[in-house]
Structure 1
Amino acid sequence: MKFSHYLILALKGCAMGMADVVPGVSGGTIAFISGIYEELIDSIRRVDLTALKLLVRGRFGEFWRHINGRFLLPVLLGIGVAIFSLARLMTYLLTNHPIAIWSFFFGLIVASAVLVSKQIGKWDLRTVAAFVIGVAAAWWITVASPAETPNDWWFVMLSGAIAICAMILPGISGAFILLLLGKYQYIMHAVGAMDIPVILIFVVGAVAGIISFSHLLSWLLKHWHDVTVAVLMGFMIGSLNKVWPWKEVLETYTDSHGKVQPLVEANVLPGRFEALTQQDAQLGEAVVLCLVGLFSIYCIELAARIILKKKER
């Protein structure tokens, strides 16, 4: 395999990594658009007991061929480079420009939900019920759960296990799942600050998650495709409650660094936000960035259509 081919795979991995850092854009969607989705799923499935036995017995060449290492390594390297290079930027934006960045995320998630809905072949009683259940479950989580979740090792590992599943689901963002779990900013800060213990725990969870759930998710999408996608779409719509840009802080807590942080928040309209905080609601900027988020997903979908048409010729 030529070096240029490895470089192209790494660049596709970078695009996936950049997508997974931004809530609302799916790395799986980028994999689909760039034409590596099926090979990615197949390669992930090969990380199984057979691969483990080959590795333990020291048969490294056979192990490498079994897991399609020539494909996986450059893609994973590209993902890693993108995540580590963008994490600090995202932490800065969320800290210094929260309304703008949350508005952008809001637009991304709305458009992603619309994109996911197009994967549902038929809307019937089952898919509608699945959609409603997804909306209700996500809404309940955002209302019932405080903004701050435990930073204990087991929850960080669990967050990694759940979020990584988004990488193999077009339309579902891993960063979006971390938002829902209240761990997005925590993990982004850990990556930006090179907090190795937290990163390692998260990676262990991610590896365990993708190996454990890839077969299950593949089976669900194969046998219960429309119902599964409807639940995922409902999950995204219901979770918009968490990324609404204007919040009223109802309860606070003091973190380990002595800083006062919001614990329980309620969504408010921009005018109410200005009255409460005496700060500019930045409504015009928020609307523009929301539309930019919507348009970004539209561009991704348009690119996918063009690629599919070329393949059909």
Structure 2
Amino acid sequence: MGAANVIPGVSGGTVAFITGIYERLIDALKAFDLKAVRMLFQLDIKGFASHVDLGFLMALGCGVLFSVFTLAKVLKWAFADYPVLVGAFFFGIIFASIFSVGKMVNRWRVSEAVALLVGLAIAVALAFMSPAGENTNLVYLLVCGVASMCSMIIPGISGSFILLLMGNYQLIMIKAVNDLRQLNFAESLPILIPVGLGALLGLVVLSHILSWLFKRYHDTAVSLITGFVAGSLVIIWPWKSVAESVTVNGKVKIIAWHRELPDFAQGSTWGALGILMVGVGAIVLMEKLSGSRPERSA
């Protein structure tokens, strides 16, 4: 999940869903409620750990941190130097995972088909929306935090991509983060604190909503997410050129792309297609090794 967030258009939620831990993750996040706080104040560590599935969250957190300091750096370098190949690999993974996620729907009815099309339409529409202008209003920054966290949890939608559409990607992910690294708290904290509060609010609220949806309308919810994942293929499309970029401290940050058709006359295109098939094969192999489809919570 940590490595996925490095690649524009790939969300950690997608990886969680592919690997079959998504519903357990949502339930664990939802468990951070008043009961959990009460257990902490009463020093009931064992009860707290059981209530929030702490062992699972710690294992997942360690994996994310390990990825950030190892695999994510490799992917970031590879995406900077070989964007088409890395994009093709993730395109193959996401393409193959559509069928894996779709198999989690126990019964396809009209409502599931409609949910699939709605999810697909939303994700594709997001891919072609024009970015808004920068806005430093406090309420808008809170909304940015809510939206970015919600999109990170929902499979198929990238949090950084949502910030780009809302016009505050450069302000938050580049300027504010860079100011924080330089210990310029007067510039960074007024931006990052409201965004962080919004992200926390979005995490708490959305985890409860998603948990309720999975328990009451499991097949419809999975169908909607399948549409999101399928639509994200437009965002991660490997063959694209830079439409808009900014330079910060001598480093070029790409914030918009032009999508193009692959040129089959070039050998590099066939190489990218080969890498794409490797991504597809990785998902097929994972399913064969698991011996069954991903588990769902009760």
TM-score of the two chains, using structure 1 as the length reference: 0.68
The residue number in structure 2 matching 1:237 is 230
1:269 to 256, 261, 265: 261
Question: Which consecutive residues of structure 2, in runs of 5 or more, have no partner in the other structure?
Answer: none
The residue number in structure 1 matching 2:239 is 246
When you count helix as a share of all residues, which structure comes out higher? Answer: 1
1:26 to 9, 15, 20: 15
Q: CA deviation at 1:49?
A: 1.1
Q: Assess, with a 3 A threshold, how the Cα gap between structure 1 residues 282 and 305 changes in structure 2: closer, same or farther.
A: same
2:277 to 291, 296, 302: 291
Q: Is the CA contact (8 Å cut-off) linking 1:149 and 1:181 kept in structure 2? A: no
TM-score of the two chains, using structure 2 as the length reference: 0.71
* Aligned length, in residue pairs: 274
The residue number in structure 2 matching 1:178 is 159
Q: Is the CA contact (8 Å cut-off) linking 2:149 and 2:199 kept in structure 1? A: yes
Counterpart Cα distance in 2 of 1:263 and 1:203:
22
Q: CA deviation at 1:91?
A: 1.6
SS in 2 for 1:121: coil
The residue number in structure 2 matching 1:213 is 206
List per-residue Cα deviations over 1:82-110 (Å, max 9, x = no partner). Answer: 23322222221111101111111111111
SS in 2 for 1:300: helix
Tell which has more relative contact order, 1 or 2 (C-alpha 8 A, sep 6+): 2
Q: Is the CA contact (8 Å cut-off) linking 2:263 and 2:269 kept in structure 1? A: no
List per-residue Cα deviations over 1:196-230 (Å, max 9, x = no partner). Answer: 979x8687665544332222112112222222222
List per-residue Cα deviations over 1:8-63 (Å, max 9, x = no partner). Answer: xxxxxxxx54566663751244354xxxx7765554332101222344x4635354
RMSD (Å) for aligned C-alpha atoms = 4.2
SS in 2 for 1:270: coil
Question: Which consecutive residues of structure 1, in runs of 5 or more, have no partner in the other structure?
Answer: 1-15, 167-171, 275-279
The amino acid that maps onto 1:240 is L
SS in 2 for 1:232: helix
The amino acid that maps onto 2:284 is Y
The residue number in structure 1 matching 2:65 is 80
The residue number in structure 1 matching 2:215 is 222
Counterpart check, 1:142 vs 2:127: yes
Q: Equivalences for 1:1-313 in 2 at 5 Å?
A: 17-18=2-3, 23=10, 26-30=15-19, 32=21, 40-55=25-40, 57=41, 59=43, 61=45, 63-64=48-49, 66-146=51-131, 154=142, 157-158=145-146, 160-166=148-154, 172=155, 177-178=158-159, 180-181=161-162, 195=181, 207-249=200-242, 251-257=243-249, 264-271=256-263, 282-306=268-292
Counterpart Cα distance in 1 of 2:281 and 2:293:
18
Counterpart Cα distance in 2 of 1:258 and 1:136:
38
**% identical equivalent positions:** 29
SS in 1 for 2:291: helix
Q: Is the CA contact (8 Å cut-off) linking 2:88 and 2:276 kept in structure 1? A: yes
